[in-house]
Amino acid sequence: MAIDVRDRMRSDILSARLIPGQRLMFADLSERYGVSVGVTREALTWLSSQGLVQANAHQGYIVTPLSIPDLTELTETRILIEPLVLRMSFETGGMDWEGDVISAHHILSRTPPPHGPKALDEDALDQWAEVHSAFHEVLFAACTNKRLLRTVKQLAEEAAMYRRWSVALVLSNPQAENEHRALLEAALDGDWERGGAVLRTHIEHTREMLTNYQAAHPDE
């Protein structure tokens, strides 16, 4: 039961149904998910280990707040680690892996990110986030270092909250489709240097969009 609850909480955090900085009360969560306080506490402890919630001495648990300094640190970490894992995946990936990459990209290309009235549609956001994550996960999937793969997955989940933030502000990366296509082509060519360069640019775009937005709207 604890695993089911923690997965539901994780989904609610990544989809911004539990918003960044929100205080998480044991009684409220127990009622929301229909479980005991003990199960709720166990789920929050696990989510804390994943960086999705934080324990605060005065407030209990809160959803991890979002901030430009934190996003900058996250971006720097991803730029250091993810191209390395991408290289390892490109070097060991075979034909089955290439087929998985092609399939994941095809699904992503047929699932455009929500814009306009759909930008805050939770179902549309969930669908796009799922296929977007699946494409990036399969790019790394041939890497045989499980510790690095776990690290990449955790970083990706933290980054997912910032992507939700950018969507809520109606921000988008106009080059995302081209960058995904370039990552696909680099994977099929086994060109980890080109793939790494594209990936670094792709990672940097969310930070740029949100930093520029904050500079233009300092009072928000």
Q: Are residues 201 and 127 in the same domain?
A: yes
Q: Are residues 158 and 130 in the same domain?
A: yes
Q: Is 75 exposed, middle or buried (0-12, 13-18, 19+ CB in 10 A)?
A: buried
Q: Are residues 36 and 113 in the same domain?
A: no
Q: What is the mean pLDDT of residues 136-164?
A: 92
pLDDT of 208: 87
pLDDT(108) > 80? yes
| CATH value at residue 140 | 1.20.120.530
pLDDT of 90: 98
Alpha-carbon gap, residue 99 to 105, rounded angstroms: 10
**What percentage of the chain exceeds 90 in pLDDT?**
55
Q: Give pLDDT tens digits for 15-59.
A: 777 888 889 999 999 999 999 999 999 999 999 988 889 998 777
Domain boundary among 30, 46, 63: 63
Q: Are residues 28 and 45 in the same domain?
A: yes
Q: Are residues 40 and 108 in the same domain?
A: no
pLDDT of 218: 65
Q: Give pLDDT tens digits for 74-85.
A: 999 999 999 999
Two structure tokens written together for 179: 């960058």
Q: Are residues 57 and 166 in the same domain?
A: no
| CATH value at residue 39 | 1.10.10.10
In the chain, how many domains are there? Answer: 2
Tell me the residue range of the domain where 36 lies. Answer: 2-63
Alpha-carbon gap, residue 180 to 134, rounded angstroms: 12
Task: Please answer whether residues 105 and 143 qualify as being in contact, where contact means their C-beta atoms are separated by less than 8 angstroms.
Answer: no
